[in-house]
A = this chain, B = another copy of it.
Amino acid sequence: MRTLEAFNKLGISLDLALEAHELLRGATKEEIPGVQEDKESYDYAEVTTVTILNDQGAQIMGKPMGTYITIEAPRIRFESKEIMDDISELLGKKLETLLKIPPDSPILVIGLGNWNATPDALGPNVIDATMATRHLFQYAPEVVGEGLRPVCALAPGVLGITGIETAEIIKGVVERVKPSLIIAIDALAAANISRISTTIQLADTGINPGSGLGNKRIGINQESMGVPVIAIGVPTVVHASVIVHEALSNLNEKWSGNVMTATYAQKITPDLSRELSQSIFQPFEGNLVVTPKEIDDLILNVSKIIAAGISQGMHPGINRGNYQQYLQ
């Protein structure tokens, strides 16, 4: 019941590679061929790096080959300055490991999502907080400090507002601006409530169709953009149907362990989960999300952490001690 297959039946793609891997490995923690997982511990965070090594791994995971770094930091919800600074610094360092370009190569930061929809506004919020420097190199090189690189930033909006595929807008800008790399920020959906606004995923695979909160139909990745794309995502919601599925999975597990109830556990299937969800979620089918009541605050908080982290990761001269003067 708690399997990747079940999620597929519910029509929900798992945005976090970590969650997909966990589901695939199951309770027995079996190894998945073509997929490697490494864990590190920090004061306020666990970092899990899932590497999809080959096509076999990609097919099983339903995600492209590449590196997926997940920072889990449950305590960032409490907004302590020290914890926030720690996580930003860690994010910066992890981002650096994925940047395979010279320190003066230009980067385009893209904030995906809809600034008028709270849980989808993560990307635009990060853009608002990130300092663009590219124009300074061009028009006022004398004010550019040591250790900065040219960075430009765009919040292209969503298809429903622009009428243009987001990938088309970005591709057009990429062709004019010619960055060496793109960093794309996006709000994700998680399978687990506890990850909302506390987990950050970096992936060197870019953004692929169907992922994230908005309905992207065209990928934003090396293939479509012609330059490497690093995706940074934070779960801001859990799909409502996941809640139903989780409840039934828990019931299934609870009953499976008992001789008396095991035959009924078998009746609790993904199909049943989908059937029950559909009847409850009319007329919003597929469009319902679960969020904490304080989601507006949580989004602002994690947006600041991301902006601080990518500034430190992109610019050699920005660090934990001075990042605040480079944010807006």
Interface residues of A (CB under 8 A from B): 74, 79-81, 115-120, 127-128, 132-136, 150-157, 159-165, 168-169, 171-177, 193-194, 196, 213, 237, 240, 243-244, 246-248, 250-251, 261, 264, 267-268, 272-273, 276-277, 279-284, 287-297, 322, 324-325, 328
In contact, B251 and A261 (Cβ under 8 angstroms)? no
Q: Give chain B residues whose Cβ lies under 8 Å from the Cβ of A213.
A: 293
| Bound Cα distance A162, B136 (Å) | 11
Some 29 contacts from A to B, beta carbons below 8 A apart, are A79-B325, A81-B324, A115-B115, A116-B297, A117-B293, A118-B118, A118-B295, A133-B163, A136-B163, A150-B163, A153-B161, A161-B328, A164-B173, A164-B176, A164-B177, A168-B177, A194-B284, A243-B243, A243-B280, A244-B247, A247-B273, A287-B293, A287-B294, A288-B292, A288-B293, A289-B290, A289-B291, A289-B293, A291-B291
The one of B128, B134, B159 in contact with A163, judged by C-beta atoms closer than 8 angstroms, is: B134
Of all chain B residues, which has the CB nearest A120?
B293
Q: Give chain B residues whose Cβ lies under 8 Å from the Cβ of A251.
A: 248, 268, 272, 276
In contact, B177 and A175 (Cβ under 8 angstroms)? no
In contact, B284 and A193 (Cβ under 8 angstroms)? yes
Q: Give chain B residues whose Cβ lies under 8 Å from the Cβ of A136.
A: 163
Q: Closest approach, in angstroms, between the C-beta of A298 and any C-beta of chain B?
A: 10
Contact of A277 with B247 at beta-carbon distance under 8 Å, contacts A267-B261, A284-B292, A325-B80 already known: yes
In contact, B132 and A162 (Cβ under 8 angstroms)? yes
Q: Give chain B residues whose Cβ lies under 8 Å from the Cβ of A272.
A: 251
Q: Give chain B residues whose Cβ lies under 8 Å from the Cβ of A171.
A: 172, 176
In contact, B290 and A240 (Cβ under 8 angstroms)? yes
Q: Closest approach, in angstroms, between the C-beta of A197 and any C-beta of chain B?
A: 10
| Bound Cα distance A144, B175 (Å) | 32
In contact, B116 and A296 (Cβ under 8 angstroms)? yes
| Bound Cα distance A74, B297 (Å) | 30
The one of B153, B169, B246, B291 in contact with A154, judged by C-beta atoms closer than 8 angstroms, is: B169
Residue among A153, A164, A279, A288 with max Cβ neighbours from chain B (10 Å) = A164
| Bound Cα distance A136, B159 (Å) | 10
Of all chain B residues, which has the CB nearest A74?
B283
Q: Closest approach, in angstroms, between the C-beta of A131 and any C-beta of chain B?
A: 9
Contact of A169 with B164 at beta-carbon distance under 8 Å, contacts A261-B267, A290-B290 already known: no
Q: Give chain B residues whose Cβ lies under 8 Å from the Cβ of A157.
A: 154-155
